[in-house]
Amino acid sequence: VVPEAPAPVVPPVQVRPYHEPFSQKLARFVGRALSATVMGLLFVGFGVLIAFLWTKPTRRVSSCIQAMPAQSFGLGILTFLLVMVLEAVAAVLMMVVVLLAAALIGTVILIPIGLLLMMLSVLLLVPVPLLLAGGMIQGWVGLADLLGQKVMQALKIQDGKPVGSVLVGMLLTVGIVTSFW
């Protein structure tokens, strides 16, 4: 019979909570503020460019939001739901194409076609999010145009250009959004 060795005594380890230095907190805050400012300015510039290039569609979206705000909001939410369904259908379709490509790769002659199908199947997922992003941006620019018109009317600016009202509205909306960032 072998006697058991006594269990080693492990001294207790004191765990001290990590306190982040103030310099790291400040650096993280400055980094976030800087990135929010840069992204905000990019969105403002992009919105003004859209308003400059597509003035009539922007005004149509703006007048639609003004005439039917609840319906416009509901249509936006419905669009998100539709996009989720379309992305799911596109993912299933992509899996079918990949399975077909895998079957083609099983033959020696059709390997290039199967590989090409596999690479191109990823493109099935791209159009729906791109269209959603385009619609979201157009809606945002239309809302910015409406807000800019209201602000310019409140300031009694009569001969404002559409790009100017979009600029004012984008500065307002982007300022609000980046403050939450």
pLDDT (0 to 100) of residue 14: 82
pLDDT (0 to 100) of residue 110: 86
Output the 3-class SS for 65-111.
HHHCHHHHHHHHHHHHHHHHHHHHHHHHHHHHHHHHHHHHHCCCCCH
User: Which residues are CB-neighbours of 72 under 8 A, at least 6 positions away?
Assistant: 64, 65, 139
pLDDT (0 to 100) of residue 56: 92
CA dihedral 65, 68, 71, 73 (to 10 degrees): 30
pLDDT (0 to 100) of residue 5: 78
* Distances from the Cα of 160 to the Cα of 57, 103, 153, angstroms: 18, 62, 9
pLDDT (0 to 100) of residue 7: 79
User: Which residues are CB-neighbours of 67 under 8 A, at least 6 positions away?
Assistant: none
* Distances from the Cα of 139 to the Cα of 33, 59, 142, 146, angstroms: 26, 10, 5, 11
Consecutive 10-residue averages of pLDDT for the chain (181 residues): 77 83 92 90 92 91 93 91 89 88 86 87 84 89 92 84 89 87 72
Q: Report if pTM > 0.75.
A: no
pLDDT (0 to 100) of residue 1: 65
